[in-house]
Amino acid sequence: MKVVEIKKYGGPEVLEIGSREIPVLKENEVLIKVKAAGINRPDILQREGNYPPPKDSSDILGLEIAGEVVKVGKKVKNIKISDKVCALVSGGGYAEYCSAPFTQCLPIPKGLTFEEACILPETFFTIWFNLFIKNKVKKKQKILIHGGSGGIGTTAIQITKNFGLEVFTTTRSQNKSIKCKKLGAHYSINTKKTDFEEFIKKKTNGDGVDVILDIVGGNYVQKNINILKRNGLLINLGWLTGSVVKINLLMVMLKRLTITGSTLRVGSLKEKERIAKELKKNIWPLIEQKKIKPLLCKTFYINKVKDAHIYIDKEIHFGKIALKF
């Protein structure tokens, strides 16, 4: 089968089209003929050598796919050959065929294309787990979502708005800020022109926000701490500007803050099964009602995967990028 391979770490130029054997199924897995695969920040980090795949996972990039089931393992339930699904995987998505635990497969919501469906799993699993399972955000809470124009950001804006939170977000351009507000953010801050810490303090009369979702890291971390309410929650999902930071722990203690983070890739099958079930119950109906939509910015054919990574490295996209087979 055709795959995208990395024989050395580096920029988009290291991505090559290669050939591998079709995956051998485990009893709890399905084999999916991939029609489209989403591109995510972890793919970029793995390509650069900064995010190695977990033990026993495929070294092929790709954490989310959509396609048609062509084979099922002996212990698979409620999925049959020819079903059209999207799935969260721990690797192997940039390939013509990919295996996935059946518990991490979801039906493609009515009305969506394969390209739209393939960009759902990674960010929707991540946001749901961090906001509604690991932590329990509540209606009317104030949340700040950094990086509102990316996959995590556009997903988080839509979900939290639909669940009744007051949504603040940051971007790095006025155009993206406008798009974030149209998507559902109550306030969108262009950080090239406005200091988000001062903006939040002013808009909340100095009270701050209840929850912050951060993919930036670096010098944002202390500023996040400064604008969290007492008993506030900081969730770290990335480190675009650095993972090693210096913070004032006294403020964390005095405000009784909780600082946490996670990566889905190393989560257990049981954990991901729970997320999938809750997404199907709580989010899939909203997608089919068009209250939440996948933000597909651009699609590239698999033989143009280098161009796709060049495009995402430029950080000019709004939403997500898909690869088409």
For residue 56, what pLDDT band results from cuts at 50, 70 and 90?
confident
CATH number assigned to the domain covering 135-261: 3.40.50.720
Average pLDDT in the 63-82 region?
Answer: 98
Q: In terms of DSSP bridges, do strands 2-6 and 97-101 run parallel, antiparallel, or are they unpaired?
A: unpaired
Provide the 3-class DSSP secondary structure of residue 121: helix
259-314 pLDDT, tens digit per residue, is 999 998 889 999 999 999 999 999 999 999 999 999 999 999 999 999 999 999 99
Residues 49 and 173: their CA atoms lie apart, in Å, by 29
> CA dist 62 to 31, 32, 39, 286, Å?
15, 13, 7, 26
The Cα 39–Cα 17 span in angstroms is 16
- Model pLDDT, residue 217: 94
Specify which residues 19 forms β-bridges with: 2
| Structure-token pair, residue 200 | 């939040």
As a whole number, the mean pLDDT across the chain is: 97
Provide the residue ranges of all domains of the chain, joining segments of one domain with +.
2-121+294-324, 135-261
Strands 142-145 and 209-214: parallel
Q: Which of 325, 263, 248, 212 is nearest to 45 (CA)?
A: 263
| Residue 266: per-residue pLDDT | 86
Tell me, rounded to whole angstroms, the distance of Cα 250 from its chain centroid. Answer: 32
pTM over 0.85: yes
Buried b (16+ CB within 10 A) or exposed e, 254-285: ebebebeeeebbebeeeebebbbeebeeebbe
Q: How confident is the model at residue 27 (pLDDT cuts 50, 70, 90)?
A: very high
pLDDT in tens, 96-117: 999 999 999 999 999 999 999 9
Would you tell me how many other CB atoms lie within 10 Å of the CB of residue 313? 13
Q: Which residues contact 30 (CB under 8 A, 6 or more apart)?
A: 69, 71, 72, 73, 76, 79, 85, 87, 99, 100, 102, 105
Note the pLDDT tens digit of each residue in 169-223.
999 999 999 999 999 999 999 999 999 999 999 999 999 999 999 999 999 999 9
Task: Output the pLDDT for position 240.
Answer: 87
Q: Residue 213's pLDDT is what?
A: 98
Share of the chain above pLDDT 70, in %: 100
- What are 152's two structure tokens? 């995590």
For 50, the token pair is: 């900064």
Enclosing H/E stretch for 22: none
Q: Say yes or no: domain 2-121+294-324 is CATH 1.20.272.10.
A: no
Beta strands in the chain (DSSP E): 2-6, 15-19, 29-39, 64-72, 84-88, 97-101, 105-107, 142-145, 166-171, 187-190, 209-214, 228-236, 258-261, 296-301, 320-324
**What percent of the chain lies above the pLDDT cut of 90?**
96
Which ranges in 163-268 belong to alpha helices (H)? 174-183, 196-203, 220-227, 249-254
168 - beta bridge partners? 144, 187
3-state secondary structure of 244: coil
